[in-house]
Structure 1
């Protein structure tokens, strides 16, 4: 900030709404000094109005659909200034209330739930993927840009109304779910930077709600707190369920203090799920009322219907609700009116879905079903079980020790450790019906009525609470303690197969409070990259800085401990001669909730310190960095190093020409069969081979063996720290090609190497590979004698295997390639591997690519007749291709129609295909080891599990 702030500003960047509150610093920082900033926005064509809520919706109009004059906002005349325009923004876009209305009437042009996508790690959140399942030809934006656009709109609206106090010069607090991990927090900061904000702070939403409640009580706050011991903050918004526990204790001066003692893991579960469930119900009614075979709505039409069911839900769950409400899905194009379909949702239907489906009355011992439910749409990983009640019970159970301690209950006490007070927030609790049901469930578990703390306006509480937090930072009211919601660990060597980790920062550490692991010393390598592999947990147990623990596979698979992306950095020494330095580690929780690590070296001679700082970022430039992880390698790995050096070492004099032929067998004698080599061993072997990459040109055998071992050790090209650095090291040699280009065995290993590493290649690198081999895949090559000769020499079948793995290719290139292969398969001479390649390229669930880059389901369905004609008894490759092409993803935009799904299942059953194949087509199913091997083309390294 270049000037002293005049206002404290709180922004609730919500899934459904964005809300802004503010306090004037020229006035006393009392509760009355907090106002909602009404945001100017388009509410109809050419009509601008100020509203307390800015719906977090975008609408991307078709060219010529909307008149430019109808899009005019008070600050539109400034959009010609490049510094004023949001970087990367589309030329025409509607944001806010009118965007929400337009999206409820037009298919596939509305961006929703950007916040949910911001926390979705299985897609590229900086890629242009929204609106998901958008209409054909529509321009798309990334979740980061969509989030930035809402903040950008807020900034421009504020600056228009307060030209003497620009928002970027104020003290701004943006709220995020307590369950947001470091990656999602970093992306929120990035979105704010894109929108032109200055420095911002992040605050957890449940804490914001509590700050707002405390501020509203004024002088009565302390006496009200005296009535309770443990507060549950239950925030169920449009897209997420966020849970926190806050303990009430006696602090200084006999006043009561608040300490956050527990937060829940990220749950993508909220009001949107109720709307979706109701949309499914409405869809069934619409289909059953029509004639002919019921047909599912398109993903775009379903998105439109969801906006209708949201309105119906709010109406039918309100006080004095009518008996029913009408929902309508419009047609498209020329059938806009005539193609519309409607049905009635009754009050009893909506209550049953909302209450019994999402807030059922269950015993306290019930826990969520971990199997993915049917309520999965639009590519978002919704919670496995939609019952919020079960997730509440699980959350309390996970923090049982903290609950019992706060409530004064012994371990032997039979009473359930349910908090004695609850504070509800989120749009879901605008419904008195859902609030009453939730209170009833909690009171039943507790066996006595739970105290319900009043929240008069759940839509505004978070933004107002952010302002109250800003006041608390200035000493104007009570500040909630609790510090870090998680305990952070640094991964060490494995001992007896278990991951060792040392505690860096215990849960509860306050912001800017440095923790030094003075009793633990580390040898820091200088001048080359150092890796820090981090873990975190929200568990109750109080760990001590420097404490070493063992993490089992169950700890990690159950998500009791979350594995975080590693920190990697190069440390330079003040002394040019030093290669290592003994250091201790110092850690701090930053103001935005991320972890900072300092490596501290003490210089006793000068009584000074040298520090190397690391701070978590979601993206790291690893182009010049190399993994130096101290993973425990087999005791005889030095002998492996000698064997590799004998073949690919720098000295030709000591080179044994026969050693290359036995190298793989020699390594297997030392390490065991290669399919048992764990990933640290594989990457260590690859690094040895990388040092000798230029010596692979000594002979055809050298080149073939190097490609074979290096590719096997690097597969699948990602999933382990600094793999992107490794990929860049070998990619630099791609343009040089192979030395022994007359040898077919060398060509086979060349294509196999890139197939194995394909998952780590960028889209540009994969496109380069594709351009180099596409001429061989085109059926026209069959009539070209020169290409035919090259095909034979360069191993056409291995090119086919390679192209199948290039998942980052544009959809047009993948579609063209499949058409070529289907044409070639009309001739019996074509390799049956082409069937597998077609299945892999047209798969509904990518192996390493982003889910937004799959071939459209209508195109896939046009190819299925040719696959169904094949003899699946004799040709299992064609059968498995059909499985991949019709595999259930749970995303309507990708999943094929039931008509085709049933045909594939029927034929798989007839030919007695493996039961697991049929399950993949019928249900959302994660692959087992055998299925993964068949999709990938070979087994994956032990210890590397791909999360899909």
Structure 2
């Protein structure tokens, strides 16, 4: 919301490539909108101030920059031991040493496949580089902006101004929530979010002044194409002429899906084209040199696509160390090549019925989930077919630095002309680099006063104080409300698609609260609850709040789930802490979705007893149904595969309660051991139990964990079944909460520690859930299992191979290999110890499996930045290559895991090494699917996932 004491409205474009700031006094005019020159270092001894702040950080080595990095001010979170710089100098330093450059933080902020709060950038950098999270990097750019503003306006600090921060229209609710969190970390607690295409169009509207109505007189549907450094945003705005020749009514009708396509991808494409000139035909550059080539291509692209560009640019890659100049290589990039590769690669000719390719293209390189098809033209065709309702746009506004290239503008307009059969009108954008920041300031200015009461809620003019100029006061606001409809995932009929309940229809205006009064839910307090949400961006059919529909067709996007453990009243039994609630949803004034639970008492919702449900933004999650609707909202049965959750769960819990319930029942040791077979008779084979069912069973076991120690049989059965139901410890929302609960059992240890079979189940349990443990927890387990393994080895020596008192050696070995979250150096030491054990004639065949997992290229659950570096993994690969793979298939599969191609140069082994592995695999008659894993980027099948993990994954859960 606007600040009542604000002297300025400030628009901030936190871009992938650049950050730009514009401002206007709250009682200013259109002419008063000004860009803020942002001080930044351009060299060690020079500070410059310019409107464009490159959104990059350089993570320097201690002492590398002297005291220069402290000027004009140090980045947020920097210290004397980890200096970093932001802006132009960071970009220049990073061009020479790309392994220390944090770039594309905004793209990483929207990447749901990683923990966006973990220190993972620069991606692929070694341990000698201090890393930051995408969230912290974004916050540091905003903190730099705040410092620059406060220096220029000491009497009006930025934290007290009305700040409008722009985001891509396609950002999901998790990315928007993280953007707000970054602003708070930067000392900006109150900001308004605005979609970037709307901001760019606001700027164009502002520039028209009194001629606005005439300028839009012949336009009915405006397409805004905003191609930035990291994303392509597509937006449609309907123009309805007002009666009597007044200002037109503007309504945003559609936004595109999240497309991670932009200038970064173009730089990658140019680097791929030139790679052979530096690496040789058919060869690939090492990750660091390829990153250097990408940076060089970016600079060359900007030169060759600018006005008055030269015919060609020389690109030089320096060598390393003492061979810095001696090993330098050069290649020439021409203007014609750039236009050909960029225009034909990203805007190729396409018919209006074109669809994007599904197969992953070549634009992978740094871990980001780029779309399979880089052709913006095909994505645009699909967008228009889905949203234009047969009426193609007659007007287009182009925004983003890439449209400085006339060839791209020309190709895009040719495409639209051909699809329409008539020329499309191109709105002139005089400054695509900072239109978003200017438009954000103009938009914020319009929020400083309430709209006239007689205006339509969706098409009201931007109001201002009486002293405001006509150009601001009468500029129409772009209506349309929420760009998407939001839905709660519900079970669907057996054998049919899942169903969803509409929480917030598309077009709902900001601030409007919708309560689903006709739908009630039973909610248990003090226990894990979660709601899986979907967004739908298609225009038809128009949904209503409370409507239930099948989740079929295109346009459905899974959002980060909403999850919480809501507190139970003190002194109240947990079993009784169940309340009836209604759901309330609204699009907040700052531009984010808010969902609350309102308690219902005596049939009336009590707003005083409500719970805000936060989005999970820490990492990727699996999709599953987890909250039970009451009778009036649960007319549908479970979807295919989840029927047991609805129909057989009570009977399953009764079986568990018979063994582990509060009241000791008359059960024999055989009854205890037969619990799993009894459940399988009821639910089917345990391999088929769906993720939602598994977690529901685990929750029942967890609630009865205190009774697991009744007998040694009870303890073994509980560990075996609970570990199976919680495996692999991640993948379902609130698994982190479950791990927290179960970790409390670790310190208590085994109740029947003299039974080796119980020790075996103990190790198996922690292996199965290891992926959910954090580094400290895994380190604690690692130390315990390592000590037990040493005792087992000693006992085997003393007893000539006798049984261990600490359980199965093989299961301890497999647990050791499952510690993916510990620093890779520990796993390297484990692997070296295992190589020594392999010299013994009684070495376990599981040792090769364990080594393969320790040095694997692709983590099964942990973030990719924890993978052992290729140079460290080489030692273990060499050991496998020395084996006869026809006799040692486990050694060959270990090599497959170590040489597997991920598409991420920071993790992949050199091409020559993978070629050596492929040759040996072919000679040993390796399965075709194993060859494919090493030769190209493919997903493991279920059988190989089982072999890698040591267990099958729950149905519906896929790990990379």
TM-score w.r.t. the length of structure 1 is: 0.91
Cα distance change, pair 172–2 in 1 and its aligned pair in 2 (3 A): closer
Cα deviation for residue 779 of structure 1 reads 12
Residue 355 of structure 2 is aligned to residue 363 of structure 1: no
Contact 2:522/2:580, CA 8 A, preserved across alignment? yes
Contact 2:792/2:805, CA 8 A, preserved across alignment? no
- Structure 1 segments unaligned to the other structure (5+ residues): 408-417
Cα deviation for residue 492 of structure 1 reads 2.8
Separation in 1, partners of 2:15, 2:58: 17
SS in 2 for 1:568: strand
1:368-404 per-position Cα deviation (integer Å, ceiling 9, x unaligned): 2111111101111112111111111122223243xx3
SS in 1 for 2:479: coil
Tell me the residue number matched to 2:253: 261
1:526-565 per-position Cα deviation (integer Å, ceiling 9, x unaligned): 555543222221122211111011225xx5xx66232431
Separation in 2, partners of 1:605, 1:804: 54
Separation in 2, partners of 1:353, 1:375: 13
Separation in 2, partners of 1:838, 1:574: 50
- Structure 2 segments unaligned to the other structure (5+ residues): 449-462, 464-472, 620-624, 630-637
Cα deviation for residue 198 of structure 1 reads 3.0
Separation in 2, partners of 1:836, 1:882: 9
Residue 538 of structure 2 is aligned to residue 564 of structure 1: no
Separation in 1, partners of 2:432, 2:194: 17
1:199 alignment partner, one of 182, 190, 205? 190
Cα deviation for residue 89 of structure 1 reads 9.2
Cα deviation for residue 636 of structure 1 reads 4.2
What does 1:509-520 correspond to in 2, within 5 Å? 509-520=508-519
Cα distance change, pair 105–610 in 1 and its aligned pair in 2 (3 A): closer
Cα distance change, pair 703–109 in 1 and its aligned pair in 2 (3 A): same
Separation in 1, partners of 2:320, 2:187: 38
1:847 alignment partner, one of 857, 860, 864? 860
2:276 alignment partner, one of 284, 288, 291? 284
Cα distance change, pair 695–559 in 1 and its aligned pair in 2 (3 A): farther
Contact 2:562/2:615, CA 8 A, preserved across alignment? no
1:817-849 per-position Cα deviation (integer Å, ceiling 9, x unaligned): 112212222333211212122222222111110
Tell me the residue number matched to 2:551: 551
Tell me the residue number matched to 1:108: 99
Tell me the residue number matched to 1:480: 478
Cα deviation for residue 154 of structure 1 reads 0.9
Moved more, 155-164 or 654-663: 654-663
Tell me the residue number matched to 1:415: none
Cα deviation for residue 724 of structure 1 reads 2.0
Residue 124 of structure 2 is aligned to residue 133 of structure 1: yes
Tell me the residue number matched to 2:458: none
Contact 1:594/1:616, CA 8 A, preserved across alignment? no
Contact 1:723/1:760, CA 8 A, preserved across alignment? yes
SS in 2 for 1:32: helix
Cα distance change, pair 223–229 in 1 and its aligned pair in 2 (3 A): same
Cα distance change, pair 550–704 in 1 and its aligned pair in 2 (3 A): same
2:378 alignment partner, one of 384, 390, 394? 390
Cα deviation for residue 885 of structure 1 reads 1.0
Aligned length: 911
Contact 1:525/1:571, CA 8 A, preserved across alignment? no
Residue 224 of structure 2 is aligned to residue 215 of structure 1: no
2:659 alignment partner, one of 644, 647, 652? 647
Contact 1:86/1:152, CA 8 A, preserved across alignment? no
Separation in 1, partners of 2:605, 2:47: 64
Separation in 2, partners of 1:656, 1:918: 51
Separation in 2, partners of 1:90, 1:360: 48
2:137 alignment partner, one of 127, 146, 169? 146
Cα deviation for residue 421 of structure 1 reads 1.2
Cα deviation for residue 890 of structure 1 reads 0.8
Separation in 1, partners of 2:386, 2:815: 46
Contact 2:58/2:85, CA 8 A, preserved across alignment? yes
Tell me the residue number matched to 2:728: 716
Cα deviation for residue 469 of structure 1 reads 0.9
Contact 2:598/2:606, CA 8 A, preserved across alignment? no
Tell me the residue number matched to 2:453: none
Separation in 2, partners of 1:212, 1:751: 62
2:493 alignment partner, one of 492, 495, 498? 495
1:857-901 per-position Cα deviation (integer Å, ceiling 9, x unaligned): 112223222212222222222111111111111111111111111
Residue 829 of structure 2 is aligned to residue 816 of structure 1: yes
2:704 alignment partner, one of 673, 692, 695? 692
Separation in 1, partners of 2:832, 2:689: 39
Separation in 1, partners of 2:580, 2:753: 49
2:177 alignment partner, one of 172, 183, 186? 186
What does 1:489-888 correspond to in 2, within 5 Å? 489-497=487-495, 498-526=497-525, 528-541=527-540, 542-551=542-551, 560-570=556-566, 579-601=577-599, 609-618=607-616, 629=628, 633=645, 635-652=647-664, 654-775=666-787, 791=804, 793-888=806-901
Separation in 2, partners of 1:606, 1:506: 23
Moved more, 834-843 or 770-779: 770-779
Cα deviation for residue 741 of structure 1 reads 2.2
Separation in 2, partners of 1:323, 1:607: 70
Contact 1:106/1:332, CA 8 A, preserved across alignment? no
Cα deviation for residue 206 of structure 1 reads 0.8
Cα distance change, pair 441–800 in 1 and its aligned pair in 2 (3 A): same
Contact 1:172/1:200, CA 8 A, preserved across alignment? yes
1:199-223 per-position Cα deviation (integer Å, ceiling 9, x unaligned): 1111111111111111111111122
Cα deviation for residue 135 of structure 1 reads 5.0
Cα distance change, pair 647–518 in 1 and its aligned pair in 2 (3 A): closer
Moved more, 903-912 or 786-795: 786-795
Residue 24 of structure 2 is aligned to residue 33 of structure 1: no
Separation in 2, partners of 1:89, 1:13: 27
1:117-156 per-position Cα deviation (integer Å, ceiling 9, x unaligned): 1111222211211112225512111111111111111111
Cα distance change, pair 561–57 in 1 and its aligned pair in 2 (3 A): closer
Tell me the residue number matched to 1:9: 10
Separation in 2, partners of 1:309, 1:691: 58
Tell me the residue number matched to 1:162: 153
Cα deviation for residue 518 of structure 1 reads 2.5
Separation in 1, partners of 2:782, 2:922: 36
1:347-384 per-position Cα deviation (integer Å, ceiling 9, x unaligned): 22222211111111122222221111111011111121
2:445 alignment partner, one of 450, 471, 474? 471
Cα distance change, pair 845–653 in 1 and its aligned pair in 2 (3 A): closer
Residue 957 of structure 2 is aligned to residue 944 of structure 1: yes
Cα deviation for residue 604 of structure 1 reads 6.7
Moved more, 432-441 or 773-782: 773-782
Tell me the residue number matched to 2:634: none
Contact 2:712/2:758, CA 8 A, preserved across alignment? yes
Cα distance change, pair 494–317 in 1 and its aligned pair in 2 (3 A): same
Cα distance change, pair 567–900 in 1 and its aligned pair in 2 (3 A): same
Contact 1:824/1:830, CA 8 A, preserved across alignment? yes
Separation in 2, partners of 1:862, 1:86: 37
SS in 2 for 1:592: coil
Residue 435 of structure 2 is aligned to residue 435 of structure 1: no
Separation in 1, partners of 2:750, 2:602: 54
Tell me the residue number matched to 1:62: 61
Root-mean-square deviation (CA, aligned residues, Å) is 2.8
1:787-807 per-position Cα deviation (integer Å, ceiling 9, x unaligned): 987856421110111122221
Moved more, 359-368 or 492-501: 492-501
Separation in 2, partners of 1:783, 1:704: 23
- Report runs of 4+ in structure 1 exceeding 6 Å deviation: 87-90, 573-578, 604-608, 786-790
